[in-house]
Chain A
Amino acid sequence: RRNEINVTTKYSTTPPDSDPSQRRRVHSMLKHYYGLNEEGKVTEQAESLDPCDINGPHFDPEVYLNKLRMECSLGELMDHESCMVKQIRSLDSDMQTLVYENYNKFISATDTIRKMKNDFKKMEDEMDCLSANMAAITEFSAHISGTLQDQHAQITKLSGVHTLLRKLQFLFELPARLNKCLELQAYAQAVSAHRRARCVLQQYSHMPSFRGIQDDCHVIMEQLAQQLRQKFRDGGSSAKDLSECVELLLQLDEPAEELCDKFLSHAQSRFEADLQGLEAELKDSPVTDTGGGLVQKTNPGSNPVSPSSSSTTNPFLSPTAGTDILEFIDRGCNEFVSSLCLVIASYQELFINRPQEGELASKNIPEMANGKLHVFVDTLAARYFSLVERRIQEEKGVSDNSLLVRALDRFHRRLQAISKLLPGSAVPSQGTEIVVRAARERIKQYLSALQTFYHDSLTDVRQALAAPRQSAGGASVSGGGATSKDATPSLPELLTSLSNFILNQLKSVLASVHLFTAKDITFSNKPYFKGEFCSQGVREGLVVSFIKFICQSSRQYCESAGDRGGSTPPALLLLLSRLCLDYETSTISYILTLTDEQFLVQHHTPVTPVTALCAEAREAAQKLLNHYVKVQGLIISQMLRKSVETRDWVNTIEPRNVRAVMKRVVEDTTSIDVQVGLLYEEGVRKAHSSDSSKRTFSVYSSSRQQIRYAPSYTPSAPMDTNLLSNIHKLFSERIDIFSPVEFNKVSVLTGIIKISLKTFLECVRLRTFGRYGLQQIQVDCHYLQMYLWRFVSDENLVHFLLDEIVGSAAHRCLDPSPMEQSVIEVICERG
């Protein structure tokens, strides 16, 4: 034994308590070894059949050793061996610890057992004493119960009689009690009392006394029911009272259907008042004569001076004057929708959700009641909706959209309550439809508002354009850009301000419309507002339509003005053309990108592509510019034509001056040049020398003219007159007079000059000239030559047309003796 203790001390240098987990592990391993699991039962299955598992129950040392020897190298074997030795050693120590512990426990157990032996002996004595006492008690008890037997039976019987009497008393007192309840209006008590008695009375109704009571009760209950019905009908009571009423009536076997109807009709009357109140707020309410009198009092906005009916005829005194749509919707929500919800809730509580008991269950009340409720709510909601829609339609002003959106939001939000209360109802979806319709309507209104705005801004521009002309008179329209700039805005300023106005207006409209899709708006997550509203509504219906409208109205300027003498000022045409061109180059894509970004448009349906719009805008710009050229060309043409047609060219005097009209033509052309230059880029012209006006002298050299005109004098060769010009024509391209122009200054000016000179030519060909007539034309043409070449893209064009004019004039001349070139130059230079 000492040996063992020594061993223990030797190994307990590390206290076993210090590592409980290790101890447990060791325990479990031991347990395992002895085939005990946690519960102490013998485990049935062997966990591992592997003979090499050193911890397994089937461990075969021989096999294991052989395996090791075969698989491992010497070093590994050595390692294995030392590891094994270590493990064995630790196992040994563990075992010793265990043995020691168990030994201790065993000793203490022996002590305990010895102690118990002593205690039990003492207890045995006490137990004996106890059993003796118990026997005595039993004896006494038997004795007592024997004596009390008779009295007990009597008491039981007496108490039975007592309860019966109490019940009878209740029955006899019932009529009086019911009466009293009736007096006190404690209907609930009365009904419950009656219910309790009803079965008994029914059962014993063959006995006359009970029958009397029953009859009395019937009468009283009838009275009570009457009173309840009365109360129910009066409707003055609160919803809670009402529901109590209904409950009692139901308990009194009142038919549920009738009650439903009554309940609903009662509610109806109240809604009627609400609806009429709302209707009275509408401008053109036709209801004023039916329920207006009552409603009018509730309406604070009504004018005390005018009675209800007359106030509707006067728009300034109309009751809606004071209430905006938000107030209206608010009122509708607070009065109508909330009480509707209340009614629905109480109705459902009364008829649908109540616990079904007894015979009530069989009548299938909830289904019937539900059906009635749906019909009821639907009809009321329809009326409410029609009122709301009428009110929304009155909302014409587009100044503040947020009010409408908020009103709609509130409207929609409150309807959600109904959908929660009444899951199958169509009311919320109808409400959504109303909102959708309102939104559509709104977009239309915005579009028309934009259109009006556009027209108004154009009118403003028109006026601004007209102003300088009035002040400056005929002197120079815009030639002195510096002088007129101070007084009135110049064309580019007008253009930028116009385009900014439009853009800002469009942006603000977009912002307004955007309110419909704001996150906090309940209906913004409806599919319509997510998809169609953005793409079809805002993008197509509003933005694209507006852009198209601009293009279209611009084109109308070309058409309407074309025949009827051009009421549109040319500057406006030019400005609009530039506007459309700007739209084509940048604004359209900017607007559409802005829209798409703001509204996160997902295009499910095909939408107008940007390119199509741009093409349209470009077309409009082109048309406007062409028209501008035409109009300006026409103005100058008209001057030239008048000057040619009204003059007697045969009897004119020798030219001393350039005719005033030519100076005017040059002046006007210059001012057009300035005007166009304000809005359009220079453009490209064919290369020419820096001093073209000088070079043209060679074209007009007298020698060449002599060659040209000389053959006309020889009567033998009439064909030769045309030869030169025909050769010229052969090599020059055909000139299209009213051809489309490009978007630059040079092209525009070329167009105008072409038109003017061609008119000049045609007019000259219709006249007959004397000698000085021809010379005057020469002078005029030379003057034009000097000044017009710089405006056009190809100066040869001007040369050619002027050549043609002089040529035609020479041909139409009775006495063709042309003026000396030098003289012409002198006259022209003199101005």
Chain B
Amino acid sequence: FVNKLQYLARIDRARALTAQTAETDAIRFLVGTQSLKFDNQIHIIDFDDENNVINKSVLLHDAGEIWHISGSPADKAVLTTCYSKTSESRVLTCAAVWRMPPEWESGNHESPDDSSNNPQTLELLCHLDNTAHGSVACVLWEPMGDGKRVISLAENHVLLWDLQESSTKATISSSATLEGKGQLKFTAGKWSPHHNNTQLATANDTAIRGWDLRSMSQIYCIENAHGQLVRDLDFNPNKQYYLASCGDDCKVKFWDVRHINEPVKCLEEHSHWVWSVRYNHSHDQLLLTGSSDSRVILSNMVSISSEPFGHLVDDDELSDNEESQQEDKGKEPLQDSIIATYEEHEDSVYAVEWSAADPWLFASLSYDGRLVINRVPRALKYRILL
């Protein structure tokens, strides 16, 4: 009985991780490397659930080191990256839309270790030209969209792009600029999957802002959402007003954007900055956080999830010895709790991501290039499902 499977994959230093959003059959993660000296790559990590084997393919990304990566929700071969480009001793982070060459699967699959031989190169579809706006922090695809609209956050600008001619041409359809004192800079953002994809949340410094994409105007602003910098946010996939955020104050906070004065809940489990927070796509009580204390924490936030509170376990279905021991526990409604703390990483974890295909699987990536794939403990899985 294996409760937790973990697989390690070694990559070079990396920060960017995403699940291949459009891929619903294979469990696949994309990792972008960060290297100033070598050619950067995109590692495609395929996890074979049945055989518990990891397959790694490599695509060359020669534009520069990758800071952010994001897969199209419509076409699994299309992705965006934010990469830094050094020109004339000036570092600028740009964004571009890429297509994976169709033959990558057949080409490199068999010999993942040989990747250095002749990795195939990503095919550039178009640049999200940002020279006028400054460095791009991240690129967001329209959730569940047709892969034609992306948002990029560049310095203090929100840019909404239309991708035309099968993504080979990008035009700015609308934009908004955050005005204010000092040098404002977006650190993170999330496109809300609710309200017909008309809302966006961004983070800059300690504030979280909501935007209406139709009018490109701010609809709410949570000043001082965190004591220090806000690092990441994520929308609850099932509850339209709920939003989770994390930041340098080591806290994870849950917000109801209708009542922005106080967070709904606050977790303080990490012992250093929290860099990434992700709701499970189907079971929004499961929450994943990654921190620079090199830990990944999986929490069960039942009390603020869309699931009916106090879901009972049907004991007949659990025949294992372990489960029958937990019979008493199972009767009680689940409490908000930490399910597991994963300590496999030895460096700061900058990204965590749920698999798009299997809701019980997630990956975490630390700076030293270690990718760890973990499963939700089976007992909990059954308890949620049954």
Contact = CB atoms under 8 A, between A and B. Distances in A.
Interface string A702-715: 00000000001101
Contacts of B367: 765
A762 interface: yes
B164 to A, nearest CB: 33
A561 to B, nearest CB: 9
A734 interface: yes
Contact of A729 (B86, B226, B346): B346
A718 interface: yes
Contacts of B271: 736-739
Given A564-B224, A634-B228, A768 B38 contact: no
Contacts of B347: 729
A737 B293 contact: yes
Contact of B273 (A718, A762, A770): A762
B36 A758 contact: no
A813 B37 CA distance: 9
A185 interface: no
Contacts of A813: 36
B10 interface: yes
B212 interface: no
Q: How large is the interface on A (under 10, 10 to 19, 20 to 34, 35 or more residues)?
A: 20 to 34
Given A563-B224, A758-B272, A814-B86, A734 B343 contact: yes
A770 B249 CA distance: 30
Given A650-B89, A770-B89, A718 B35 contact: yes
Interface in A523-565: 562-565
A736 B294 CA distance: 9
Nearest to A634: B228
A565 B368 CA distance: 33
Contact of A650 (B90, B272, B273): B90
A797 to B, nearest CB: 15
Contacts, number: 69
A563 B292 contact: no
A718 B12 contact: yes
A562 B263 CA distance: 14
Interface string B220-253: 0000101110000000000000000000011000
Contacts of A202: none
B86 A762 contact: no
B38 A718 contact: yes
B348 interface: yes
A715 B116 CA distance: 11
Nearest to A813: B36
Contacts of A713: 37
A722 B369 contact: yes
B65 to A, nearest CB: 8
Interface in A673-716: 712-713, 715
B227 A563 contact: yes
Interface string B196-238: 0000000000000000000000000000101110000000000
A811 B37 CA distance: 9
B76 interface: no
Nearest to A728: B346
B127 interface: no
A565 B91 CA distance: 32
A581 to B, nearest CB: 23
B250 A738 contact: yes
A304 B257 CA distance: 64
Nearest to A563: B227
A730 B84 CA distance: 31
A514 interface: no
B366 to A, nearest CB: 11
B383 interface: no
A715 B37 contact: yes
Nearest to B67: A766
B89 A562 contact: no
Given A719-B12, A726-B368, A812-B36, A651 B224 contact: no
Contacts of B368: 722, 725-726
Contacts of A765: 348, 367
A712 B84 CA distance: 20
Contacts of A634: 228
A819 to B, nearest CB: 18
Contacts of A758: 272, 292
Nearest to A758: B272
B292 A562 contact: no
A758 B228 CA distance: 15
Interface in B100-143: none
B13 interface: yes
Nearest to A736: B271
Interface string B56-94: 000000000000000000000000000010100111000
B275 to A, nearest CB: 9
A563 B207 CA distance: 12
A737 B273 CA distance: 9
A718 B273 CA distance: 28
Contacts of A718: 12, 35, 38
B51 to A, nearest CB: 25
Contacts of B35: 718
A738 B228 CA distance: 14
A709 to B, nearest CB: 11
**Which one of B37, B89, B250 has the greatest number of beta carbons of chain A within 10 Å?**
B37
Contact of B13 (A734, A736, A811): A811
Contacts of A726: 346, 368
Nearest to B10: A719
Nearest to B90: A650
Contacts of A650: 86, 89-91
Contacts of A762: 273, 292, 348
Contacts of A722: 13, 368-369
A651 B343 CA distance: 38
Contact of A768 (B10, B84, B273, B343): B84
Interface string B316-349: 0000000000000000000000000001001110
A68 B292 CA distance: 120
B12 A712 contact: no
Interface in B348-372: 348, 367-369
Nearest to B273: A762
B79 to A, nearest CB: 22
B292 to A, nearest CB: 6
B346 A562 contact: no
A729 B38 CA distance: 25
A736 B250 CA distance: 12
Contact of B249 (A562, A651, A715, A768): A562
Contacts of B272: 737-738, 758
Nearest to B292: A762
Contact of A563 (B89, B249, B348): B249
A768 B86 contact: yes
A753 to B, nearest CB: 14
Contacts of B226: 563
A634 B273 CA distance: 12
A510 to B, nearest CB: 39
A754 to B, nearest CB: 10
Interface in B244-294: 249-250, 271-273, 292-294
Contacts of A562: 227, 249
Q: Which of B91, B348, B368 has the most CB of A within 10 A?
A: B91
25 contacts: A563-B224, A563-B226, A563-B249, A564-B224, A650-B86, A650-B91, A651-B90, A715-B38, A718-B12, A719-B12, A721-B13, A722-B13, A726-B368, A730-B346, A737-B271, A737-B272, A737-B293, A738-B271, A739-B271, A762-B292, A765-B367, A768-B86, A770-B89, A811-B36, A813-B36
Q: Which 8 A-B pairs have the closest CB atoms?
A: A737-B272, A736-B271, A768-B91, A738-B271, A729-B346, A563-B227, A718-B12, A650-B89
Interface of A: 562-565, 634, 650-651, 712-713, 715, 718-719, 721-722, 725-726, 729-730, 734, 736-739, 758, 762, 765, 768, 770, 811-814, 816
Given A650-B91, A736-B293, 7 more contacts: A650-B90, A721-B12, A737-B271, A758-B292, A762-B348, A768-B84, A768-B86
